Structure 1
């Protein structure tokens, strides 16, 4: 097992002032001391009986090194409109995030930067082509101190997540499968602490990464507990979390409170990759009570209401939403819960007072504001150089034209939940020869809508290609997970059960309409499944049909456990390879009528 890093705080000048081991209690074995790291700004003069501390935070970065485009680069402004109205338009981009964070730290003697997970995974090709090593390098350069892990940190498995923390290179064939670890020979891993308090080796209490980190600022100790959502196994590839247990968030954090207090830590912050959902019209800087009320069904609410009152602040994520809300703790006191949207478009600036006498945060002193990462500031030169380096390295992979389209092929759904891009992906999976193996060829393909991450646009041209031409990078950004395609046998009755799970069970509150291949069709009304046909013939409940999907769904992900009943399971190639090959074979591709899924 890789060795674990510990957290050692330092002054801005580099003098080590304290070291706090993070391999106690629930933390896994094999801890080792890391290079000194800690607050981004320091000082040599005590601040009297109290000390003012700044906490900068963000979440769901998803490897967005370059400025995100389209809707991914927008946010709602107060009073309506979006950030396209800014000059220059759009928000986000790590070059600008670095500058904004540096500017925010100015005038603050003591500042820490933390994150709430999904920093990597589902990343654009510039990062994904190198197993997200560029994103870790960029986050190091941002002076990130601590982060929780999120569900997407498990996209390539927990061993790979541990490599992200510790460094080292993969023997991946120097570009095999369009990925290349350590293109310049080395990867040092994260300078910050990756925390996974509620992720343990199956049947043990040993965490795969540190459970908590203690930052010491001139004797002011702040403990950070980092967690992903307990439901992570339901929304990631089963192979990536095999052999792990994911524990209840509240029970995990509350059990660590006395562990931290025993080390003289009364100031505690939870970094959690779980969140809330405010109205889609909420402005980026809205607070609860001012337009950002999160839905009562938001999973962060019962967590926040039950976390120990000793916990002073909750930094959340996962839902890609911006909000700053007070949710009362079990003692009836207000406690801030923050989230900074996604893709590096926002950061949260929190200021608090630490009382040296009680060695705790003064709860009433805590204030937070979400801040736009505008692009009207100077770009950080370190980040600019990093992007330029990897753009050159990725060029042979990214710029290859693999096909063309006659019009935009988008994720926009009709009344039944069907999209043109969903149809294209399902058809590509059905046509992929790698999933046949020793069995019959699949006759039905099913694709989860959440795995379709962006659109194919006719006018887009990131490498100078002609209008309509699609590069490998554009295709990759649609399906960035490197999932494997899986074929399996299901009966007609099992397929109908699967379709009904789109709006029942785990999906009852937020239906997920699977995208389907040509020739397969069904109707539904509300939560009632209607006629299901294959090539115009009603599905036979007792007949066996060969189905292809990705390994995420095949493992029961996204609330579709019916897949787990499949027989003769066979793994094929990568989904992106099937997608790219289909585009090549069917160019120029035109969108097809949306008539496969009919809602009555």
Structure 2
């Protein structure tokens, strides 16, 4: 009798332990940037839907819990999406059953009227706990989401990079305060832990970035984690996901975006797992968590390639095919022909003097020469693709200039003009898009600063007023060009991409486009 009782008790204990164990499957995507359709070796959202549906079926058959999450930046990158303000992307994500998306910095590439429409199209919440309406504590999106599974409660905290306040169009972010993600998380996480109870977990869905590995692959070895911890120390207002993990205890995982990092194995920072799935719909990150008594006791991780060889989901494919037809005729109409390759390898306008930078600034100078423009300023981060040799279409130009920026004429004092040149001429690791692309200027970048600055071949008088053209993003202080806000400005209303289109039409066919350096760099 005693023996039977002991066996029964052991069985009860085993069942009790099993009951406290939960298996959570998380799928994460991030920074899709309009890449809803197949391209290159990748299958787009229709292939992605097939993967998501297969894994969802797997989890259901095993009685596991399932989350599908997006870490932000659905906007800007592919003309078919950009023209429709990412409506096809969002509707496809609806069809895939996305649980939530964090607000990324590129969700501010358009006015509030567009973002509000995107939120209305979505069957999922847009999360961010650290974006509040200016002067209030009211968040722009939902600060968090609680998912109640039969065996587990999961709190999902949304956070957005504070750098959005200066890397996004100032006109579109001026109504918001971007708070420190670390500070906000320190306030929210204890509250969320109470909400999910002792058996639940808190995760963060963030658009913060992994420092030092932008557009690169990274495996989370201890040495790599130690390196990033130094680059991204705790309690940094403008910090990334590693700063967050160092600053806040109680996060089981951080599902990150923004830096387009391909995480091949999770970074473990103080017991918090950090993952990220690259960009442009190339990958889905799968993180399986075994949770017991509110603790992650085991995990597995896999980075899944969204290959073009995967059979597309028919419903999602039909939706996207229909939307691609909208406006495709206009997009694909030839506007010119070039024998010259206007290259943009490795985002070169962010780093160097380039032929494509010349083409774009030349176009603005050509269009607005009657207004007395003496110089043209463009930020390298706004030039997103090359113009290959061959037939040029409107779609090509929109891929290069996807932000819908307009051209602004500034009457600016020489002293502020010099500050803008001295800021934009040099490289800033934390402001990689700020590097200046220009027409009408020459200068030399040295380890001791910017030298030999000439405008139209003459030195700039700090007290004189000059006329320059730029885009509305920079004119509003974007990429920390705050000194341009001191100028008297006139928004022409001309979309930059349309100006470049007109210029290409006027000079086509392009048999040659000589490159004469506009600035040089002297290194020690």
TM-score class normalised by the smaller sequence: 0.7 to 0.9
Between 1:582-591 and 1:314-323, the stretch displaced more is: 582-591
For residues 94 and 592 of structure 1, do their structure 2 counterparts lie closer, same or farther at Cα, with a shift above 3 Å needed?
Answer: farther
> Aligned residue for 1:97?
48
> Aligned residue for 1:480?
402
Match of 2:250 among 284, 302, 310: 310
For residues 97 and 511 of structure 1, do their structure 2 counterparts lie closer, same or farther at Cα, with a shift above 3 Å needed?
Answer: closer
Relative to the length of structure 2, the TM-score reads 0.87
For residues 367 and 297 of structure 1, do their structure 2 counterparts lie closer, same or farther at Cα, with a shift above 3 Å needed?
Answer: same
CA contact (8 A) 2:350 2:432 kept: no
Match of 1:341 among 274, 278, 288: 278
Cα deviations by residue, 1:237-285 (Å, 9 ceiling, x for unpaired): 111112111111012122122332343354111111011145589657x
For residues 414 and 573 of structure 1, do their structure 2 counterparts lie closer, same or farther at Cα, with a shift above 3 Å needed?
Answer: closer
For residues 242 and 64 of structure 1, do their structure 2 counterparts lie closer, same or farther at Cα, with a shift above 3 Å needed?
Answer: same
CA contact (8 A) 2:159 2:206 kept: yes
Match of 1:452 among 366, 370, 383: 383
Between 1:443-452 and 1:400-409, the stretch displaced more is: 400-409
Structure showing greater radius of gyration is 2
Deviation at 1:556, TM superposition (A): 1.4
Structure 1 unaligned residues grouped into runs of 5+: 1-45, 70-89, 167-188, 459-467
RMSD: 2.6
> Aligned residue for 1:497?
419
CA contact (8 A) 2:170 2:473 kept: yes
For residues 450 and 281 of structure 1, do their structure 2 counterparts lie closer, same or farther at Cα, with a shift above 3 Å needed?
Answer: closer
Map 1:539-554 onto structure 2 (within 5 A): 539-554=460-475
Deviation at 1:474, TM superposition (A): 1.0
Between 1:237-246 and 1:505-514, the stretch displaced more is: 505-514
For residues 513 and 592 of structure 1, do their structure 2 counterparts lie closer, same or farther at Cα, with a shift above 3 Å needed?
Answer: farther
In 2, the alpha carbon distance for the partners of 1:588 and 1:447 equals 25
Q: Is residue 272 from structure 1 mapped to residue 272 from structure 2 by the alignment? A: no
For residues 264 and 305 of structure 1, do their structure 2 counterparts lie closer, same or farther at Cα, with a shift above 3 Å needed?
Answer: closer
For residues 52 and 395 of structure 1, do their structure 2 counterparts lie closer, same or farther at Cα, with a shift above 3 Å needed?
Answer: same
1:108 partner SS? helix
Map 1:140-155 onto structure 2 (within 5 A): 140-155=94-109
Structure 2 unaligned residues grouped into runs of 5+: 1-16, 233-238
In 2, the alpha carbon distance for the partners of 1:142 and 1:400 equals 33
Match of 1:49 among 14, 17, 20: 20
Map 1:159-198 onto structure 2 (within 5 A): 159-166=113-120, 189-198=121-130
CA contact (8 A) 1:505 1:559 kept: no
In 1, the alpha carbon distance for the partners of 2:503 and 2:148 equals 55
CA contact (8 A) 1:112 1:145 kept: yes
For residues 288 and 103 of structure 1, do their structure 2 counterparts lie closer, same or farther at Cα, with a shift above 3 Å needed?
Answer: farther
Cα deviations by residue, 1:510-535 (Å, 9 ceiling, x for unpaired): 58421112x32211113511112233
CA contact (8 A) 1:487 1:572 kept: no
Match of 1:390 among 303, 317, 323: 323
Normalized per residue, which structure has more helix? 2
In 1, the alpha carbon distance for the partners of 2:456 and 2:135 equals 47
Cα deviations by residue, 1:309-353 (Å, 9 ceiling, x for unpaired): 122111111111112443433xxxx21111111001111110112
For residues 61 and 156 of structure 1, do their structure 2 counterparts lie closer, same or farther at Cα, with a shift above 3 Å needed?
Answer: same
Relative to the length of structure 1, the TM-score reads 0.76
2:285 partner SS? strand
Q: Is residue 117 from structure 1 mapped to residue 72 from structure 2 by the alignment? A: yes
